[in-house]
Amino acid sequence: MEKLPKIGLPILIVVIIGVIVIAKSATTIDSGEAGVLFETFGDGVVTDEPPMSEGFHIVAPWNKVFVYEVRQQELFEKMKVLSSNGLEIQIDASAWYEPVYDELGNLHQSLGQNYLQRVIQPAIRSAARSVIGRYTPDDLYSTKRDAIQVEIYEETKKILDKQYVQLNEVLVRDVTLPPTIKDAIERKLKQEQESLEYEFRLVTAAKEAEKVIIEAQGKADANRILSASLTDKILQDKGIEATVKLAESPNSKVIVIGSGESGLPIILGNQ
């Protein structure tokens, strides 16, 4: 009976060591994440195999697993940049990015888990300064903002293409100009709008006047043509037609007296 505790103690120790080894060897990759394996007694970071996917994994206790989020992430940036005429402008922008899944091992080996601060932030800041430096405050305040946004995206993407990072979109959320410059631009835009409205009214009035002239000219031409076609013979024929109709009317009691040499006949009632 005294030997049982001595036999049970080594088994207990083995069980405890086994539990510790399993705990050290077990790794769980959560949803939207992937793991990069580092082999301590091997070649270091594993780059020739796909990353460890979501789920439960068993690895040797002497190896390490570095977990990365592989979903799309968003970076918010507030930057002070200079326009083409040297004015300081604040840009509020955001970038949508994610690591290239199949290149996660290379990303970890070359940049590490703080790749956001190492490459993405410097890239978008550099691109924003380069692009904004080609435009005036008027351009930033007007409809060219969309074009500027596209240029910042393209320049940032060009920098990140070989950095194992995928840039999905760059959004310029707000552009803050110095108050005096903003007021001057707003006054200029208001004056331009008023000028356009005045020009529109002038054009509309000119078109209305042209329409009236054309209508009057048409009426004048019609009257002139009608007057030229009304000869004495035509008028006499029209008078005869009217006299015949009056004579044929059963209820007519009309006296028509002709005048001149070509006067029309006299009609006295219908008796």
Pairing of strands 88-99, 73-82: antiparallel
pLDDT for residue 198 is more than 50: yes
**Together in a domain, 60 and 86:** no
* Beta strand spans in 177-223 (E): none
Q: Does residue 160 lie within any of the structural domains?
A: yes
Q: Tell the residue number behind the tokens 């329409």, with chain if given.
A: 211
**Together in a domain, 115 and 92:** yes
**Together in a domain, 14 and 91:** no
**Together in a domain, 165 and 82:** yes
Q: Of 7 and 158, which is predicted with more confidence?
A: 158
Q: 209-229 in b/e burial notation, b at 16+ Cβ within 10 A?
A: eeeeeeeeeeeeeeeeeeeee
Q: How far apart are CA 140 and CA 132, in angstroms?
A: 8
pLDDT for residue 260 is more than 50: no
**Together in a domain, 116 and 167:** yes
Q: How far apart are CA 77 and CA 174, in angstroms?
A: 11
Q: Does residue 188 lie within any of the structural domains?
A: no
Q: What is the CATH number of the domain that holds 142?
A: 3.30.479.30
> Which whole-number Å values give the CA distances from 52 to 60, 70, 156, 206, in the listed order?
14, 12, 29, 75
**Together in a domain, 60 and 13:** yes
Tens-digit pLDDT profile for residues 43-88: 889 998 899 999 988 888 888 999 999 999 999 999 888 888 777 8
**Together in a domain, 160 and 91:** yes
> Which whole-number Å values give the CA distances from 182 to 7, 60, 131, 172, 177, in the listed order?
86, 63, 20, 18, 6
* Amino acid at the residue 181: I
Structural domain for 143, as ranges: 73-177
Tens-digit pLDDT profile for residues 157-174: 999 988 999 999 999 888
* pLDDT at position 151: 93
Beta-carbon contacts of 59 under 8 Å, excluding residues fewer than 6 positions away, are 25, 27, 37, 65
Question: Whole-model pTM?
Answer: 0.61
Domain termination site, one of 69, 87, 102? 69
Q: How far apart are CA 49 and CA 237, in angstroms?
A: 110
Q: Does residue 215 lie within any of the structural domains?
A: no
* Beta strand spans in 134-231 (E): 165-176
Model confidence at 147, in pLDDT bands (50, 70, 90)? confident
